[in-house]
Amino acid sequence: MLQIDDMRTEDLEQVSRLEASCFSMPWSKKSFEEVMGKSDAVYVTAREEEKVVGYCGAYVILDEADINQVAVEPSCRNKGIGRKMMEVLLQKLKRAGANAVTLEVRRSNEAAIALYESLGFVTEGIRKNFYEKPAEDGLIMWKR
């Protein structure tokens, strides 16, 4: 059964492995440890039993939030896990005082873009060559 909760210290080993499997320039376990110590960071994990199958998180800055991580285990995609995590994260961000939320996404990541649009995000800009390995534009999306 899928469970969405705040990210825990004991999740970090699995989170960093998942990060490395999903991104060409992954965050380290140490980066996640540093994030967890910040009062403005809101991170959640999706677990099936004790296996982390996804995570997402953001920073809250005054009344805005910047989602900087969203990942789902490749074998678990297209099962609604990303949507459930994002819904929980957006609720937590609203409770933390965020009235607007932004994120960047690779222009080619059609599945993620469709998910974000279905959650109310709108593309408001493009960051040329924002991503590396491979170089690609990033779409700037906002939910206001």
Q: Which domains does the chain have, with CATH numbers?
A: 2-143 (3.40.630.30)
Instruction: Please identify which of the residues 48, 64, 104, 136 carries the catalytic annotation.
Output: 104
3-state secondary structure of 140: strand
Cα pseudo-dihedral 43, 23, 17, 28, rounded to 10: -70
Closest CA to 67 of 92, 33, 48: 92
pLDDT recorded at residue 19: 95
Identify whether 116 is a catalytic site residue: yes
Q: Give the predicted TM-score (pTM) of the model.
A: 0.94
pLDDT recorded at residue 47: 96
Instruction: Please identify which of the residues 43, 55, 59, 116 carries the catalytic annotation.
Output: 116
Contact 107, 141 (CB under 8 A): no
pLDDT along the chain (144 residues), means of 10: 94 96 92 89 95 97 96 95 98 97 97 97 96 94 97
Identify whether 13 is a catalytic site residue: no
pLDDT recorded at residue 62: 94
